[in-house]
Every structure is written in structure tokens, then in C-alpha cells.
Chain A
Amino acid sequence: MNLKIKKAKRNYRADMSSQIANLVIAIFATLWILPIAWLLLTSVQSREERFAIPPKWIPSSLDFSSYKRAWELFPIAEQFLNSLKVTLISTIGALIISSLAAYAFARLEFFGRETLFMILLAGLMVPPQLTVIPSFIAFRKVGLIDNHAALFLPAMITPLGIFLLRQFFRSIPKELDESAKIDGAGSFRIFFRIILPLSKPALAALGVVLFIASWNDFFWPNIFISTTSKMTLPVGIASLVGVSGNTNVILVMASVGMQIVPLLLIFLFTQRFLIQSIATTGIRG
């Protein structure tokens, strides 16, 4: 009898704590969506609704005119293509360079291998804030300021990428390369035919994380690019704040909305993969 009561008590308590947990989550989740929800809802409201006090949440009718005007007024399409170009080149370049180096560190024998690896890995601790001034001076000297190369070239070396791929390559059974070697395959053949195909998940995870980091980067492109038509999206959108006064605020909102909506759609469908990539690579962007 006593035991039963104890068990019931425990169940009740577990139930209570479960309810509390749900409540905690619900409160935080609501707080977390509100800013984005408000921006998206406001961006399709009519002028009167937008400035209503107290704020109105649900628009009475959908008014997309601000999106249309923002699209016509600001070089959003151009900046989107700039972002796409810079991001694709830097991501693919980084994947190629990192996987080549990672293979040498994981599989080839040569003098000073571990030392060299440690030196490259130490590069992890060098933040862009330290390299930005010398890089700016160097790029200025070769005339690449206000040029996309100044954005994607430095992004192609990622010590963390080399490290992660090396770890992954090491987990591939060595017997596979050994048997290929017996069949007469050289290092390059083994790399392209065995290691790379088997590493698709790791490459995809690293690629997606590098893509996001490059796509969202602000610090570097904000310094190296000054022409509006050459800007990447994050810099372009931030530069609108200075350009447009309060009257155009809704157009800037619509531009932000234009950035959020596609991202949200992509995220809803690839959530599991994206989250896993970031959790496994541990890159905070």
C-alpha cells in the first residue's frame, strides 16, 4: 500500500515536472518567434496598420507592395548573386584545399608531418580581426580592394576543416587503400576513387557549415567592399539603414523579409541535416 502511494506520488511529481518543462519551453519558444513573426507580419500590413498603437499583429489584408518596391529600388537581386558567387567559390575552394591536405595528414608518410599539422591547426586561433589589417594592405597593393577575390580567397583556408576531414579520413579502414595499392593505384587514385567517395557525409556537413558562415559574414566584406552593386547581402542590407530615413523603413523591413523567407523555407526542409552538420562540426559561424 505504502509503496503504491509512493509510486503514485512519484508519478505525480514526474507529471508536474513534465508540465513545468512544457511551460518553460512554450514561453521561451513564443518569445523566440515573436521578433521574426512581427517583422514578417508588419511587412505585409498596410500603412495605417503598421503604425497603429497598440501594435496590430494580424494584417487585415496582405499588402506586398513594399516587397515589390524594395525589389525595384534596392539591388537585392544583384547582391544575392554576389553572395552566391562568393559563398560558392569559397566553400568549394575550402573543401578542395582542406580535403587534399587532410588526406596527406591522414594517410601519407613524410618528414615533419605532425609538426606541420600542429602549425596549421594553430591557425585556428588566429581570428580574422588580427589578419584584417595586413590583408587589407596587401589586397590594396595588388588592386583587389572592392573585388570579390578579397572575400573568397582568404576564406579558402580553414584549419578546422582540415582537422575535421583528417579525423574522418582516419576513420576509413586502411585495408581499403592497401588493397587498392596492391592493384597498382597511386595516392591520387586512392584519394579520388576511395577516400573522397566515402567521405561524402563529412564533406557535405563541412560544406554546409562553411556555406552558412560565408553567406552570413559581415565583418570582412564590410571592410573590403565599398561599391553597393558589389556588396554581399548582409552588408548591402545593413547599408540601407543609413541610406533610407524613417519613411523608407518599411522597404528595409521588406528586404529583411526577403532574406528570411527563403532561408526559413530551406531550413524547414533540411533542418535535421543542417542541425546535425553544425552539431558535429561544432562551428559557431
Chain B
Amino acid sequence: MALRKVRQKQERFAPFLFLSPAILFFCCFILFPLVGAFGYSLITWDFFTQPKFVGLDNYGKLFKDPIALEAIKNTFIFTLASIVTHVGLGLILALAVNRKISKFFSYIIRTVFFFPFLLSWSAASLIWNFGLDPTFGVIDYYAGKLGFPQATLLSSTWAMPTLILIDLWKTLGFAFIVILAGIQGIPNDVTEAARVDGASGWRLFWSVTFPLCTPALFFVSVTAFIGAFQIFEPMYIMTRGGPDHATLSIVQYLHMTAFRNFDIGYGAVISVAIFLIVLIVTLMQFRFAKRWVYEA
């Protein structure tokens, strides 16, 4: 009898016991820092002197800071290119692989395209850094053969396109795998029925395959946006944001402001801006999804 009472009491507290670690960690590492970021954005502080409350001054500074605006512009260009290339090429590759091909061939393909995704961004950046080195880099050499003089691939004109390509190289595997899974998830009887009705080739693709894999394409475009907007490592390691801020990303500018120049308040404003932009664009993507994503 006493045992049952203990058990009952235990059961009443069960939800609390199961949830308390998650709630504790959530508060410490997500909720409080979230609130804190907004709080710190209202002060000026350099870690050492006395913090000073400045209200919304830091926000005003953001809109008048040409470097910040350029970083935001760069990041948007990078992000847009990233979404388009990942969805487009990912779809082409997935279609090219989604045929009767030998197991061995498909294994090789998945290995080749997926492996860079598993590499850390820092290893990937170093690989490309070496490849693009003007003195011994193999990519720089062959680019020379294609009409790019030495070291132009990381010049202010070409650095951003180069980084976009590197990002594609690094994460295409993810888009490819997700889209392939989407295409392979299309029920066979739907495709068969379309075939019986005489659809093939382009018709089959536009009327069946494409609409039915739009959820996968949507997922890839959302994750590509979030991932690309937070891009940091390749710029930080390879170009240092240069030449002349041509490749400076917004996260990199946040890193510079808060952890190089110790401008905490302004850094917090940049972090809030990143958060809000990602939030708003993602919500817009979901909104817009109803128009083109199947059963969204």
C-alpha cells in the first residue's frame, strides 16, 4: 500500500523529472542568451570599462555603417546563389542518379558527392586555399589555362563567385541526397499510371516528378538559406573577408566586431539583425510555400 502511494507520487512528478534537464539547458543556453542579446544591444561595452546604456543608438549605427551594409549585401548574394545552385544542381544530379544503374555506380556517386559534406568547413577551406595558391595551387594553374591570370580567383571581382562554388562543392551532397530521397519517395503507382496514360520524358517530369518532389526542394531551399546566411569559415579562413570587404559575411563581421574589436553592444545588434533576417526570410519561405509546394 505504501509502495503504491510512493509510486503515485512519483508518477505525479514524472513529467517534471523528465523535462527538467531540457528546461534547465534550454533556459541557460537558448532563452537567457536570447534575452541577453537584446539586452546587450542597448549598451556600449568593451569587456573592461563600465558598460553604458545607450538605448537604440547601436541600431541607428547599423543603418549608417557602410561595412555592415556591404556585409549584409554580400551575404544575401552568397545566400541567393547558394539556394539556386543547390536546388538546381541537386535536382539535376538526383534525376541523373534516379535510374536503373548498378549498385556499384550509385555507391561511387554517393561517396563522391557526399564526402565533402562530412568534412569540416575548416578542412574544406584549407584544401581550397592550397588549390588556389598562386605559387603551387593546382586550381590556380588550370584556371590560368582557362584565361584567369594568376591569383585572380580570389581577387575582389572573383572571390565571391569562387566562394559560392566552394560552398556548392561542400554542401551539394546534402541537397542531392535529400532531393533523391524525395524523388524515390514518390509512389510507384503514380508514375506507372502516368506512363500508362502515355506520359514520358519531360511530360512525366513536369506533371509528376517535379510537383511530387517539391517538398524536398522546399526543405533544401529552407536549409540552404539558413546555412548559407550563417556562412563564416571559408571567408574567415580563406579570404579574411577581403579583398576590400568583397567577401565579408555578416557573421564574420559579427565576429570581428564582438571578438576582435570588443564592441559588445554593436556586436549584439549585428547578432540580433542576423537572427531577425533569418527568422523573417524563413517565415516568408513558409508563407510562399503554399503557392508551389505540393500539399504544403
Mark A residues whose CB is within 8 Å of B. 10, 13, 17-18, 21-22, 24-25, 28-29, 32-36, 38-39, 42, 50-51, 53-55, 96-98, 100-101, 103-104, 108-110, 113, 116, 120, 123, 125-127, 129-138, 140, 153-154, 156-157, 159, 162, 186-188, 191, 212, 215-219, 222-223, 233-235, 237-238, 241, 246, 249, 252-253, 256, 259-260, 263-264, 267-268, 271, 274-275, 278-279, 282, 284-285
Contacts and interface: CB of A to CB of B under 8 A. Distances in A.
Interface in B1-50: 7, 10-11, 14-15, 18-19, 21-23, 25-26, 28-37, 39-40, 47
Contacts of B268: 133-134
Contacts of A123: 26, 30-31
A21 to B, nearest CB: 4
A104 B15 contact: yes
Interface of B: 7, 10-11, 14-15, 18-19, 21-23, 25-26, 28-37, 39-40, 47, 89, 92-93, 95-97, 99, 107-123, 125-131, 133, 135-136, 138-139, 141, 169, 171-172, 174, 177-178, 181, 200-201, 219, 223-224, 226-227, 230, 232-233, 236-237, 251, 254-255, 258-259, 264, 267-268, 271-272, 274-275, 278-279, 282
Identify the interface centre among B96, B223, B224, B254: most chain A CB within 10 Å of its CB.
Answer: B96
Given A18-B99, A282-B178, A154 B29 contact: yes
A176 B121 CA distance: 44
Contacts of B133: 249
B233 A103 contact: no
A219 B233 contact: yes
B275 A130 contact: yes
5 nearest CB pairs, A to B: A134-B36, A131-B33, A101-B22, A216-B120, A157-B25
B174 A131 contact: no
A10 B200 contact: yes
Given A25-B96, A186-B11, A127 B232 contact: no
Contact of A238 (B28, B113, B135, B237): B237
Given A233-B120, A234-B121, A267-B118, A120 B26 contact: yes
A8 to B, nearest CB: 15
A256 B92 contact: no
